[in-house]
Amino acid sequence: MNDRFASQSFLGPESDAIFADVTVGIVGLSGGGSHIVQQLAHVGVGRYVVVDYDRAEARNLNRLVGGTVEDVAASRLKTEIAERVIRNVNPEAEVIARPVRWQEAMPELRGCDVLFGCVDRFNERAQLERVARRFLIPYIDLGMDIHPAASGFSLSGQVVLSSPGGPCLWCLGILTEGRLAEEAKKYGRAGSRPQVIWPNGVLASLGIGLFVQLPCPWHGAAQLTACCEFDGDHHRVETSRMEYAEQLRCRHFPADEVGDQFFARRE
């Protein structure tokens, strides 16, 4: 084992080779995704597909890990910032940076072993999970929300590990027709959503833990599905939603609905 990873040797004698060979896709490189990228680099992940069409702006600096005043002045792509963060820790990493809408990076994302979804909109989260299910890719979804409450504001979020065969975001009640309809009504006038760094850090760390245990289950048996709900007002993480979801048989993604339904050998 490489000395650099001696402190995480409890993950197994081959863990550094496993992480060096795994390909992780991260869609959305702002508040949640920038934390994910940083931690994956420290864990020793060797291959990345980073996707975000956006550029650094001053209003991002309150939560964009690795972002600098210079990046804002240069209007630097968030993919460039992510790649720099990775290479500062792991110069040998293979980084495929796609500064496009993620739907345009499908060939790269299909090749990933694990996908992180760090996007704001429920509709996009639904689409990302569908892609992950069709290509048998474990999908880790991060969602954070700050909304007005009677006594001020309320801060909450969740991390879901959605794996083929297990409960999905629909089973868990994270995605609902009502939420999608509500979002569609607001489309184009949502404005800037409140975001801060610390809940994103909590959610990203939970997501990284779920990712690491997939190939290297240090506690014995890997979890294929998880739902961690963060109550940012009381600084608590709950997993009670899983208790009922574990009994469910996912009816949203049948086992044989996989691959590209429009695939043709020659295009």
Q: Which residues bind other proteins (CB under 8 A)?
A: 21-22, 96, 107-108, 110-111, 113-114, 134-138, 163-165, 214-217, 221-224, 255-267
User: Is 207 within 8 Å of 33 (Cβ atoms)?
Assistant: no
CA distance 32 to 8: 23
User: Looking at beta carbons only, is 189 or 265 nearer to other proteins?
Assistant: 265
Compute the least distance from the CB of residue 214 to other proteins, in Å.
Answer: 4
Compute the least distance from the CB of residue 165 to other proteins, in Å.
Answer: 6
Compute the least distance from the CB of residue 108 to other proteins, in Å.
Answer: 5
User: Looking at beta carbons only, is 65 or 115 nearer to other proteins?
Assistant: 115
User: Looking at beta carbons only, is 165 or 173 nearer to other proteins?
Assistant: 165
Compute the least distance from the CB of residue 120 to other proteins, in Å.
Answer: 26
User: Looking at beta carbons only, is 136 or 149 nearer to other proteins?
Assistant: 136
User: Looking at beta carbons only, is 149 or 258 nearer to other proteins?
Assistant: 258
Direct distance between the N- and C-terminal alpha carbons of the chain, in angstroms, rounded to an integer: 44
Q: Which DSSP string corresponds to 149-212?
A: ETTEEEEEEEEEEE-TTS--TTTTTSS-HHHHHHHHHHTT---PPP--HHHHHHHHHHHHHHHH
CA distance 175 to 130: 12
Compute the least distance from the CB of residue 245 to other proteins, in Å.
Answer: 16
CA distance 167 to 163: 8
Compute the least distance from the CB of residue 74 to other proteins, in Å.
Answer: 28
Residue 100, amino acid? V
User: Looking at beta carbons only, is 92 or 256 nearer to other proteins?
Assistant: 256
Q: Which has the closest alpha carbon to 36: 140, 128, 106?
A: 140
Compute the least distance from the CB of residue 168 to other proteins, in Å.
Answer: 14
User: Looking at beta carbons only, is 75 or 261 nearer to other proteins?
Assistant: 261
CA distance 224 to 129: 14
Helices marked H in 44-105: 69-73, 78-89
Element (H or E) spanning 25, and its range?
strand 23-27
Compute the least distance from the CB of residue 192 to other proteins, in Å.
Answer: 33
- CA neighbours closer than 13 Å in the CB half-sphere of residue 68: 8
Residue 253, amino acid? F
Cβ atoms within 10 A of the Cβ of 257, count?
Answer: 11
User: Looking at beta carbons only, is 34 or 225 nearer to other proteins?
Assistant: 225
